[in-house]
Copies of this chain bind each other. A is one copy, B any other.
């Protein structure tokens, strides 16, 4: 082998086109019709017969409040803990507060395995139960593994198909980045989002099915079918970039982002859960007397067959259904969405790019009109008229959140409702620009990634 033969092209030029071909494959894949997927999920649910019931926090098996500070922890020190967070920020109606927060410093892996059938990329999706999901079973990535799983893989940890992600030599990595999760509920949580292609024979399993990207797009038009972990990985799939340009060049966009990240004073630290003013513990959980934001509650999972044992755990239960919406426009014929450089206390670094609107409307009822989130009324009005281009309810990470429902929307804007020169923390970005930022971590937040997954998969065309 000569030294010259060792060089590889820096970019896989054909990948976006191969993904676009898979996105165009709708109706059926090599193995399954799209319309049969919900029935298959229902059959897997019956096969496993999971039952989830609410359980007071002080009766969760293996969990307890620490004597010093009252943090809610597992006796093994593993999984995650519920701690307190104290935040001071420099803008907005709330500049200083304390809250419970989920602390899970370990980075996990969300991995989708890809393989070509008949020349079209298919993705191996799992029918996975998570206790917080409204319908328990949803389509998840091939692998959702904690780092402990991941590092134990050679000692046989039992997470199916993990070997494709633990050993890069077994396949070809198509994308792999560290992406953040909910900045209002997690303290600096991130996971690897990775897509690996194999050409090997992959052993089938009853809980897994190969689907095209187009089929996943069709399923994203249904409520509560594609789970959050799958959506965030899908958002990172590289899209074809036929855009002739954008309202702002990539450098202008990065410069604006840099300025937004640099200008904020955000001071956040972990504090003892017992020291979180304004939150109270009652028989069932931890919440606020005013009923806002969320509660910390507990569940016990019982499995009806012999393969899986039960467990109990705390979950964070949001109060009310959220809204996450991109206002969009075609600019010079190129689809753009309006991103918001949003401060959330749990981010690693001050801001990330959020949807135009991201909030739980009920939390804003008592706030003065001029302090309500910009564009919220535009989005709610369009949704109320049935006028949104896309309006589907998805749920967030069912392993940590209980019934965390968010209504995801795309709403058309025009120069009057959403001008090309928007308020300072907002900026128009082309769909291609938003997608390319997911090659790196901590740019595009998790709610924006759900909306982006609708675009990479073809569920939504703007």
Question: Which residues of A are in contact with B by a Cβ distance under 8 Å?
Answer: 2-12, 105-107, 109, 147, 151, 168, 173-178, 192, 194, 243-252, 254-256, 258-259, 261-263, 265, 267, 330-334, 348-349, 420, 430, 432-433, 439-441
Residues of B within 8 A of A12 (CB): 249, 251
Q: Are B176 and A245 in contact (CB under 8 A)?
A: no
Residues of B within 8 A of A105 (CB): 265, 267
* Residue from B109, B249, B258 within 8 A of A178 (CB atoms): B258
* Most central of A168, A174, A258, A261 by chain B CB within 10 Å: A258
Query: With A107-B262, A178-B261, A331-B6 in contact, is A249–B194 under 8 Å at CB?
Result: no
Main secondary structure of the interface of A (DSSP, over half): mixed
Q: Are B262 and A175 in contact (CB under 8 A)?
A: no
Q: How far is the CB of A149 from chain B (nearest CB, A)?
A: 13
Residues of B within 8 A of A194 (CB): 255, 258
Q: Are B173 and A7 in contact (CB under 8 A)?
A: no
Residues of B within 8 A of A5 (CB): 332
Q: How far is the CB of A171 from chain B (nearest CB, A)?
A: 11
* Most central of A12, A168, A251, A331 by chain B CB within 10 Å: A251
Query: With A107-B262, A147-B263, A263-B147 in contact, is A174–B6 under 8 Å at CB?
Result: no
Query: With A176-B258, A255-B173 in contact, is A6–B247 under 8 Å at CB?
Result: yes
Q: Are A9 and B245 in contact (CB under 8 A)?
A: yes
Q: How far is the CB of A196 from chain B (nearest CB, A)?
A: 9
Q: A40 CA to B4 CA in the complex, in Å?
A: 47
Residue of B nearest to A270 (CB): B269
Residues of B within 8 A of A334 (CB): 7
* Residue from B7, B151, B259, B333 within 8 A of A244 (CB atoms): B7
Query: With A254-B439, A258-B192, A440-B440 in contact, is A249–B331 under 8 Å at CB?
Result: no
Residues of B within 8 A of A11 (CB): 249-251
Q: A348 CA to B188 CA in the complex, in Å?
A: 11
Q: A164 CA to B105 CA in the complex, in Å?
A: 41
Q: Are A6 and B332 in contact (CB under 8 A)?
A: yes
Q: A439 CA to B433 CA in the complex, in Å?
A: 14
Residues of B within 8 A of A420 (CB): 6
Q: How far is the CB of A418 from chain B (nearest CB, A)?
A: 14
Residues of B within 8 A of A246 (CB): 7-8, 10
Residue of B nearest to A109 (CB): B262
Q: Are A247 and B8 in contact (CB under 8 A)?
A: yes
* Residue from B4, B147, B262, B331 within 8 A of A332 (CB atoms): B4
Residues of B within 8 A of A348 (CB): 348-349
Q: Are B3 and A331 in contact (CB under 8 A)?
A: yes
Residue of B nearest to A151 (CB): B263
Query: With A12-B249, A246-B7 in contact, is A177–B331 under 8 Å at CB?
Result: no
Q: A332 CA to B106 CA in the complex, in Å?
A: 39
Q: Are B176 and A8 in contact (CB under 8 A)?
A: no
